[in-house]
Chain A
Amino acid sequence: MKITLSVILALVFFNVPNSERFKTNTLETASNEKITVRSLNHSLLNQTVFALINQKRKKKGLDNLEYTSSLNEIAIKYQDELEFRRFKNTPSIERKINKSLYQRTKKAGFDGGLVLPVVGEFNALKYDGKQEFFLDKNNKDSEFKLFYGKKPRKSEKDPVREEIEALDYLSFAKKVLKNLESDNKKQLYSKVYKWGGLHLQWYYKSLNKRKIPQIKMVFLLGGYATAGMRLE
């Protein structure tokens, strides 16, 4: 009986398309791993956000965005150039990127004429946004050194403070998606765009401060301006 079940499971597993299986694996890994500063897995983070966006597009009856390495490279370049810029005022950053985006993507080999940047900055910790917290610089066990409550006084014996935990990759990606939906819903879920590339990295200025650490994102969407002409 056990042998028959395992054979059926194996058959089911092997019948799932490769891309789907890869996506499932990615999301499974993303839900088990936590975000760290020193060894942030960029590709896992990028893939998780990308996979969730495609999942949502599928629900809406749209084609998946195709991951394009040339767009990804351009996104990395913009991240490097804007390393010390905050991504709070997103329209301003997007305007700035838009000025040179078409030229750069064309040079990088992407032949679509429609390109659009979507940028954002997101909390990387599981912080509820209400409670008071402090930075304990001397704590060597914690990576982010951020704890709920007030800083313990010297007179306090064996103070116990709850650490603000880091998010796992999947939860972070879900958070990103939730944030993006409010501002850039139309672009991300538009059938005009067929290709995408993105890069997420730490906003270094937000680390080691009494601040919730932030991860910045540059998402580039690509499409064909003259697609309609070709269909006829």
Chain B
Amino acid sequence: MEKLSSSFSRFRGKSVAFRNCSFSNPSDVFNEIGKNKKIKKLYIKNCVFGRSNWEIKGSEKLEEIYINNCGLTYFPLQPENFPKLKMLNVVGNKIAKNKITWQSPKTVIGADYQTISYAAHELKKWDYKQNQKTIKRTIYTEVGDLFDLPSGAKVEIKPACFIGTGNVDVTGDVTLEFKEIVNAQDFALTKYPSYLPGGEVADVKYAVEVRAFQEDKEVYVKSDKPIIIYPKFNKNYALEKYFYLNYKSEWQNLNQQTNVCIDNSETEITPNCSDYSDIPKMMQDLKVSKVFIRLQRRKKKNKLNFEITPEYGYREQLFNPFGDKIKGYPELKHYKGIKWRYVGDSMEQDLKKLYFLSDEAKAEKLKKYNSLKAYVLDIKDIRVYPNPNDDNYLIQFIQGRDTFSIEALPFLTVYKAKKIQRWHKVKYRRYKKALAKRKDKWLKMDTTFINKYENYEVHLEAYRINSLQALYSIANNHKESESAEILKIYKPGLYQMASPLLINKGEIKKPVYYIHGKRFHPKRVLVSNQSKGYNFWANAKEIPKEAGGYTISTVIDNVLYKGTWGKDNKVTFEKVEVK
């Protein structure tokens, strides 16, 4: 729900109820409620909110407000603005009891929650360090990318979204580095800042550090094309998004709004008819040319030569009356018939990589034969570069998600040094020119294809609506609820999606620590509630505890120790091997 109609002020009912609603900007709806002079009761049940700073505007008539099972962590109203309010029921939320400062109205909370905060001096000393293994992914900036991270979060990179220093557009390959802070180990080893801007302990639902590099130089994201991350949550949460200012040890609220009104239902269409002769069809297909790779290995001499030939030739015809359906590699014609000599240091590994680009590759063939032919499928791109670190070429293969480069030199029939240099120079100049042209052509082909596909979808939809309604039975199936929360990345660094940590009926406990069979007195420890899935740093002597399974971790000389915190209040630390 986006807004309430302005005529709502003339509504004559005595109560209004919102059930199972999603509000992307709740303030727009609840500002209108107070304008009505008749409503005495307001019910909000099982609703989701896109912001966590909204409020119900004051009302002179409202007597009872029920906000239940909405996952709120604060009171969304100021009681002094509701002079006639007698009952405020917020059962089913996570609101701390110590937030109530008023005498009336009667307030039913339903649970005994409490928040915890760090002292200001503790935050100053915080020393977050991203020293963990990152997930690297090289993308082709002109095209962008959509892929999954190990936690299941989806990442969307828009085409041409990077800029370098001096606001220069970045073209070519960019390597993205992601570190998701998911488990207790990540929180412990990075000394994760588990707090919110006000110093309250945070219940972190998702955290990730993102950086992008081109040739070891950091590149940045354009403000109008942020990287979008869709984290995977089991429940709907109202989460705020924060960016970590490392130099200040502070979190900054990004005030990013979330569209929680995304419809997750999926339409299931069951056909009742078998005649589809006039159904719209997608007439044009677009695919990337396959590539032959002929490999020749001399085991005894430890040498490897190979040739690359696009399956459909070089596809350089300028005029194609039937439309281009295959993305070719016309730029490779400049290296046509050239045998490449492998000059890298890890021949066996690179040979395997090259050979297993083919779907039909068999391990026993690789062991047995010297000469092999590989028929490579679904290649996204092949590029040739001068190697920045050596006097040879890097041939880069991009296939699906995998990108790898091998060092090679072409066999030449010229022997004079000057002519050799000239050969490389001229060939590469022509290759580069042709590559730029081909990139343009591919972009145009992609655009045409996408336009045609969209057109086809429109026709298909129209066909469904106008011609087939009677022939189909349509049913809406609700998919497993997926989070509509998104995180927009504008600059490199650490991001978190979190809410204040609320502990239900918490009691202060004093755990007793043991390490190698002896008493141990750590200063700070990472407390992890495994039942509720939260992690936070705490003073080791006194820790608030609620129901659920707990583990406590500590880091000594960069080694992680972890122990279960049971009912006997004992924690025996054991070394954890980090993979």
Contacts and interface: CB of A to CB of B under 8 A. Distances in A.
User: Are the chains A and B members of one assembly?
Assistant: yes
Interface of A: 106, 111-114, 116, 187, 190, 192-193, 223-232
B425 interface: yes
A71 B38 CA distance: 95
Chain B interface extent, by class: 20 to 34
Nearest to B388: A230
Interface in B385-400: 386-387, 389-393
A192 B391 contact: no
30 contacts: A106-B343, A112-B391, A114-B391, A114-B417, A114-B421, A116-B417, A192-B417, A192-B418, A192-B421, A223-B417, A223-B421, A224-B421, A225-B391, A225-B417, A225-B420, A225-B421, A225-B424, A226-B386, A226-B387, A226-B421, A228-B428, A229-B386, A229-B424, A229-B425, A229-B428, A229-B429, A231-B425, A232-B425, A232-B428, A232-B432
Contacts of A112: 391
B417 A228 contact: no
A111 B387 CA distance: 11
A84 to B, nearest CB: 28
Given A190-B417, A223-B417, A229-B424, 20 more contacts: A111-B390, A112-B391, A114-B417, A114-B420, A190-B418, A192-B421, A225-B391, A225-B409, A225-B421, A226-B387, A226-B428, A227-B425, A228-B422, A228-B424, A228-B426, A228-B428, A229-B386, A229-B425, A229-B429, A230-B386
A232 B429 CA distance: 8
B350 to A, nearest CB: 16
A113 B409 contact: yes
Contacts of A230: 386
Nearest to A110: B391
Contacts of B387: 226
Interface in B362-378: none
Contacts of B392: 113, 226
A114 B418 CA distance: 10
Contacts of A113: 391-392, 409
A93 B435 CA distance: 43
Interface string B138-170: 000000000000000000000000000000000
A178 to B, nearest CB: 23
Nearest to A114: B417
Given A190-B417, A192-B418, A193-B417, A228 B391 contact: no
7 closest Cβ pairs, A-B complex: A228-B425, A113-B391, A192-B417, A229-B428, A229-B386, A226-B424, A224-B391
Contacts of A226: 386-387, 391-393, 421, 424, 428
Contacts of A193: 417
Nearest to B428: A229
Nearest to A113: B391
A116 B415 CA distance: 11
Contacts of B424: 225-226, 228-229
Interface string B419-460: 011101110110010000000000000000000000000000
A62 to B, nearest CB: 13
Contacts of A228: 421-422, 424-426, 428
Interface in B507-561: none
A76 B422 CA distance: 31
A126 B410 CA distance: 48
| B391, B420, B429 — most chain A CB neighbours (10 Å) | B391
Contacts of B421: 114, 192, 223-228
